Amino acid sequence: MNRIIIFKAYPLASLTALFPSTHINRFFACLEVVSRAVSELGKLNHRRMVHVLGVISSLEALGKKDFAFFLQRVPETLRQEEMQKLQLSPAAYEAQFFAKMACVRDLFDRLPQESKEILKLAAAAHDLGIPLSEIEWDHPQNGAEVVRQLIKDEKYQGPVAELVAHHGEFSNLPSASFPRDIYQLPQRLIPALLVLDFCDATARATKEEEIENRIGLAGLDYYLSLATLQSLTKLEKAENLFALRARHGFGSIIFNRQIASETLSALSQDAREFYGGKLRCRFLNLLIFAFDNPDEQAKVLMAIYQVAQSSPAVNFSELWLDPDIDLGPVLGQNKEQFQARFKAYFLQYGIAGLLEINPLRRNMLFSASNLLNDSI
């Protein structure tokens, strides 16, 4: 990425980075640069800055063993839903929540001091790529480049950039990530990435720019179940990753909506292997849950699979299903309208007219822009 573009986005932080600090404490020198960049992020994308500050607060609360901090931010609707499903009283729910949070805190405690410093820098820097990314979901790599330009201290530059480049991999295993993405990291950074992704998921910024934590008991179980390399290794098998994805609704863990067994039973074994071993998609859950009927949900999944099977994509080792426009702002404004238009289109025309295989980029382009056209 052009350094001038980064300088324009983060002018004060970039200026600070040009003059290495003479402070004895190298960590705080780096933190000063990143903190300046976060404040400048607020001028470009205020809601994203609110989220970043929320992630930092979550990390600090974890370090202080302030588990009530996390429980208080769980939406009441999510809490009631889990209490009803598990038949728990409010007191029993709190007890289980705190017990699981203690396990997350134990993961944090095991990190060496240097890893904790790297984690704190990554928590502040993880979304700095947002203003420089054409597609909001593709910001991690751009964020890593921002880190490499802003942090000049070699002790922190590489490790922080690695965490920023890979942040979200744990949280997105139900949708767009594979265990092999996490293996690319140095082994010593993987536990820090898990903690970063957990804190990231607990600080969702709402439209009103308030912070909510959608990681209840099910979300806590999810992260704790991935805390060992052995558990990640098991997900190398397509059938196991498919089961995980179905259990969490083929979407980011913060949505945590399970696919009905009736939907799953209508899928062929080959389709299951496709969704558990080949497809990457960050918005598949939106297409599936445009429908309430399990049969129609299964038809959506089978239709996408069939398009891939009848094209050059059948020979790809993996396949991205990407939107042709940045869906982040669209969904933030009116997700329901997008889903309603997809439902109407699918029922009338199917899905083939919305999908186009690009053999060079080895992806399948979803024409979201067509759905937003007023003529549909």
Domain with 57 in it: 3-230
Angle between helix axes 26-44 and 154-166 (nearest 10 degrees) is 40
Is the domain of 49 the same as that of 141? yes
Q: How far is Cα 232 from Cα 206, in angstroms, rounded to an integer?
A: 31
Q: How far is Cα 357 from Cα 185, in angstroms, rounded to an integer?
A: 30
Is the domain of 159 the same as that of 307? no
- Does residue 242 sit within a domain? no
Is the domain of 194 the same as that of 282? no
Is the domain of 321 the same as that of 208? no
- Does residue 376 sit within a domain? no
Is the domain of 298 the same as that of 202? no
For the chain, the straight-line distance linking the first and the last C-alpha, in angstroms and rounded, comes to 38
Spans of the chain below 70 pLDDT:
1, 20-24, 332-333, 374-376
- Does residue 224 sit within a domain? yes
Q: How far is Cα 161 from Cα 189, in angstroms, rounded to an integer?
A: 11
Number of structural domains in the chain = 2
Q: How far is Cα 22 from Cα 41, in angstroms, rounded to an integer?
A: 26
- Does residue 244 sit within a domain? no
| pLDDT for 17 | 85
Residues paired with residue 211 on neighbouring β-strands, in sequence order: 205
* Cα 185 versus chain centre, distance: 17
What token pair was written down for 199? Answer: 């804190």
Is the domain of 226 the same as that of 297? no
* Cα 274 versus chain centre, distance: 21
Q: How far is Cα 251 from Cα 173, in angstroms, rounded to an integer?
A: 9
Is the domain of 107 the same as that of 222? yes
Q: Is 32 exposed, middle or buried (0-12, 13-18, 19+ CB in 10 A)?
A: middle
| DSSP notation for 186-216 | -GGGHHHHHHHHHHHHT-EE-TTS-EE----
Closest to 181 (Cα-Cα) out of 192, 170, 191:
170
Four-residue CA torsion sign, 198, 78, 280, 55: negative
Is the domain of 213 the same as that of 263? no
| pLDDT for 22 | 62
Q: How far is Cα 227 from Cα 115, in angstroms, rounded to an integer?
A: 16
Q: What is the pLDDT of residues 51-86, one digit of tens each?
A: 999 999 999 999 999 999 999 999 999 999 999 999
Phi and psi at residue 316, to the nearest 5°: -75, 145
- Does residue 249 sit within a domain? no
| pLDDT for 18 | 80
Residue 48: its H or E element: helix 46-63
| pLDDT for 133 | 84
